[in-house]
Structure 1
Amino acid sequence: MPTGKVKWFDSEKGFGFLATDDGQEVFLHSSALPQGVTTVKPGTRMDFGIAAGRRGAQALSATIISKPPSVARNTRKPAEEMAVLTEDLIRLLDDMSTGLRKGRYPDRAHGHKIASILRTVADELDV
């Protein structure tokens, strides 16, 4: 079975193209994707069969070998930095919960600081 990478795929149109390891371009229709898969990202490595279609080579029965590397994962903050952010967040949340128990919401500046750190931690963890 030939292998290659997804060059591009448009899930709205339901098709895209693969580039085989030997440089050939192959049409990829959404019906050739594995069951339950509706879209693939550029760079995804796939195995597939090839059939001669009206307009050239067409992929049949494609299977995903490996997904492209995550850009977000490669640009994450170092774990040591995340540890410091998490410790700061814990202190801020602890102070906020003490105030909430006494019936007081944090002031605007304090609330903004907590929300900002929460977003940063969430963005770094959600890759």
Structure 2
Amino acid sequence: MRIGLVKNWNGERGFGFLRVDAHDIFCHASALPLGTRALELGQHIGFEIGLNERTGKPMATNVRLV
């Protein structure tokens, strides 16, 4: 599991980016724990890295609030 910070979050569109190791990782609301609809800027987040099936780029999966 990696730990990152929420860099930005678009609640209307349900996605944002996490900052980890000088890289931005895409995060979709579907990867959040049940009952969580949004993230707060600067919040620490635990996650795994998977591949976005549509784009083939890295994205956060199995997100956990730290």
Is the contact between residue 25 and residue 57 of structure 1 (CA under 8 Å) also seen in structure 2? no
Match of 2:31 in 1: 32
Aligned residues: 64
Identity %: 34
Q: Which has the larger radius of gyration?
A: 1
* Amino acid corresponding to residue 2 of structure 2 in structure 1: P
Give the letter for the 1:3 counterpart: I
Give unmatched runs, 5+ long, in structure 2: none
Structure 1 segments of 4 or more deviating over 4 A? none
Counterpart for residue 49 of structure 2:
50
Query: Deviation string for 1:79-116 (max 9, x for gaps)?
Result: xxxxxxxxxxxxxxxxxxxxxxxxxxxxxxxxxxxxxx
Unmatched 5+ stretches in structure 1: 66-127
Q: Is the 8 A contact 1:48 1:61 kept in 2?
A: yes
TM-score by length of 1: 0.48
**Which structure carries more strand by proportion?**
2
TM-score where L is the length of structure 2: 0.89
CA distance in 2, matches of 1:62, 1:38: 12
State the Cα RMSD in Å: 1.0
Structure number with the bigger relative contact order (C-alpha 8 A, sep ≥ 6) is: 2
